Structure 1
Amino acid sequence: MPAFTPKHLLDCPDTQTFEVFAEPLPSRASRFPALKSKGSSRGEIYCASSGRIIVYESALERRAAVICLASPDVVDIWDQPPPVIYTIGAGGIERRHTFDFRLVLKNSCRIAVAVKPYERAIATCFFHHMRLIARQLDRSFADKVVVLTERELDPIAVQHAELVLIARRSHDPEADAAIQHVAASLIGAVSVNQLVDRTGLQGRGFYAIARAIGIGMLQPVSYGPLCGYTMVKSLVSEGRL
């Protein structure tokens, strides 16, 4: 079987369409990082599901945002939500903290996400502060607090998520239906190349597979960058979707 090369990604017939450009909605962020702050990597990502801009202020935050945006379990992501108020010490000194993201999951659970490099988190007692905030957190804002460091943001998972977000920029119901049809009867694990060959859609099939992974229909079972040799299985045929 020939390798799945970048050429396949360019071989897309006219039946694949891309969304007509529309001005994205502005970020809901309650604050924006300084444009020239030291160590900052400020930028923004477009969220296709909401049509809204998501802002970040570091490369690590961007990785976290990409993972969250691509996750089939996340239905809403709020960047830099309004600060929460908490108290410290016997005197009840009031402090404020702005989380990097507030997520809403399919099961309605709300998660306040703080992103911090691990070594810096240790040096600044960041985990202690997050536990303190979690105990005082207003449940109307979030049900739990999660701290993400580079240890939780696996580079391979980020690469998979990046491809999912790229694939979502195109709209191809025919290719999505073809992958769904194959996935419904798929037994065991097969390579992405094999799935693409079964549909005969080449590049369109690859993007449809990425979108299927993004909604939890397919799941990679081999570790490594998402490519033609990646082994995937169907969660539809297993009755898990």
Structure 2
Amino acid sequence: MQTVMEIADNHPHAHLPHLWSANIAPPTLADPDDPNKLSPTRLSRAEMKSGEPKRIWKSGSTCRVAFVTRLHRRAVRQEFWCASFEESQVFLNIAGHPEVVNFMEQRTTVPFVDLSGRDTFTRVDAHVLLRSGEEVLVSVKYDEKARRQSYLAEIANVAAQTPYEVADRFTVTSRYLFYPTYRDCAHAIHQARGGWDPDADDHMLELSEHLGERFTLQEIVDASGLGHRGRRAVIRLVGDGDIGKHLLDPFSPDTQLWSAAA
């Protein structure tokens, strides 16, 4: 059930381990001539191919919020369909994590035997690919249910029956299980990725490798001479994991950063 893909030497994820034999590949790169072109992540209706129905993920009838973002500074803009505002906010926080390479909504179905002994299945809210090559299934719930012990027991039962060929881990979350400062940073990364400035990104990435072991956000912006363009590029690079920052530090002038590029 794994998909093997060829990897271009100049692809921004080329150095990451195992990703090209995962169930989910890294996101498609944007067309530099049309970087804001939108790519949907799901089928909206049943389609037939060679007499066989294609796999249907989430349908329009269940969509309440359409969340649009890039998952990498060079990636195509993707549109995710969300069943609730809660789900869209969790997706935003997932997208802003530097270890996340890609995710897809409503992609994976896991059959299992529930706690009463009944054969059933669950359609997982998000299937996430990490930089390590690990794959994580994510169930999104409102905060009270995401902390409820009875529901966590149900998910633990599903996780125990999820084959490693499908995913490495199964987790439950709500937007409030992400620390407030982390949520602010994820939103800043989301906004910065809305821009397209490869020249600034490349300049800041190279500069980060020559500023010593640690430097502040203000120091690298000042050294670049790019002002706000430089700051937005640094935020994109932090979101992509190429410049390091403690997850719970804000994007403040005196925040400590470091080069994390391979």
Q: TM-score range by the shorter chain?
A: 0.7 to 0.9
| Distance across 2 between alignment mates of 1:20 and 1:119 | 39
Q: Do 2:40 and 2:78's aligned partners in 1 also have CA atoms closer than 8 Å? A: yes
Count of residue pairs the alignment pairs up: 216
- Gap change, CA 1:71 and 1:224, over 3 Å in 2: closer
Structure 1 Cα separation of the partners of residues 137 and 247 of structure 2: 31
TM-score, scaled to structure 1: 0.75
Output the amino acid matched with 2:57.
S
Q: Are positions 1:234 and 2:249 aligned together?
A: no
Deviations 1:93-115 (A, max 9, x none): 12221211001222321111112
Change (3 A) 1:99 1:21: same
Aligned-residue offset at 1:46:
3.2
Distance 1:177 1:56, change over 3 A: same
Instruction: Name the SS of the counterpart of 1:170 in structure 2.
Output: coil
Find 2:216's aligned residue among 191, 197, 212. Answer: 191
User: Which of 39, 42, 54 pairs up with 2:80?
Assistant: 54
Percent of aligned pairs with the same amino acid: 19
Decide which of 216, 222, 226 is 1:201's aligned counterpart: 226
* TM-score using structure 2 length: 0.70
- Partner residue, 1:109: 134
The correspondence for 2:207, drawn from 182, 193, 197, is 182
Q: 1:84 aligns with which of 98, 110, 113?
A: 110
Q: Distance in 2 between matches of 1:104 and 1:123?
A: 26
What's the secondary structure of 2:256's corresponding residue? strand
Structure 2 distance, partners of 1:132, 1:33, is 30
Q: Deviations over 1:21-70 (max 9, x none)?
A: 4242342572247569xxxx633223452543112223332232122223
| Structure 1 runs of 4+ with >6 Å offset | none
Checking the alignment, whether the CA contact within 8 Å between 1:33 and 1:57 is kept in structure 2 is no
Structure 1 gap ranges (5+) = 1-16
Unaligned stretches of 5+ residues in structure 2: 1-31, 44-55
Q: Give the number of the structure whose alpha-carbon radius of gyration is greater.
A: 1
Secondary structure in 1 aligned to 2:189?
Answer: helix
Work out whether residues 35 and 196 of structure 2, in 8 Å CA contact, stay in contact via their aligned partners in 1: no
CA RMSD of aligned residues (A): 2.9
Question: Could you tell me how far apart the structure 1 residues matched to 2:102 and 2:191 are?
Answer: 18
Specify whether residues 104 and 234 from structure 1 end up closer, same or farther in structure 2 by C-alpha distance, changes over 3 A only.
Answer: same
Q: CA offsets per residue over residues 132-157 of structure 1, 9 Å max, x none?
A: 00111133321210112345312221
For 1:30, which of 50, 57, 65 is the aligned residue? 57
Contact 2:41 2:104 in 1 (8 A): no
1:18 CA displacement: 8.8
Superposition pairs of residues 1-241 of structure 1, within 5 angstroms: 19-27=34-42, 30-32=57-59, 34=61, 42-47=65-70, 49-89=75-115, 92-123=117-148, 125-187=150-212, 189-221=214-246, 225-227=250-252, 229-236=253-260, 241=262
Residue-by-residue CA offset, 1:148-195 (whole Å, 9 max, x unaligned): 234531222122122222222333233223212321122354432332
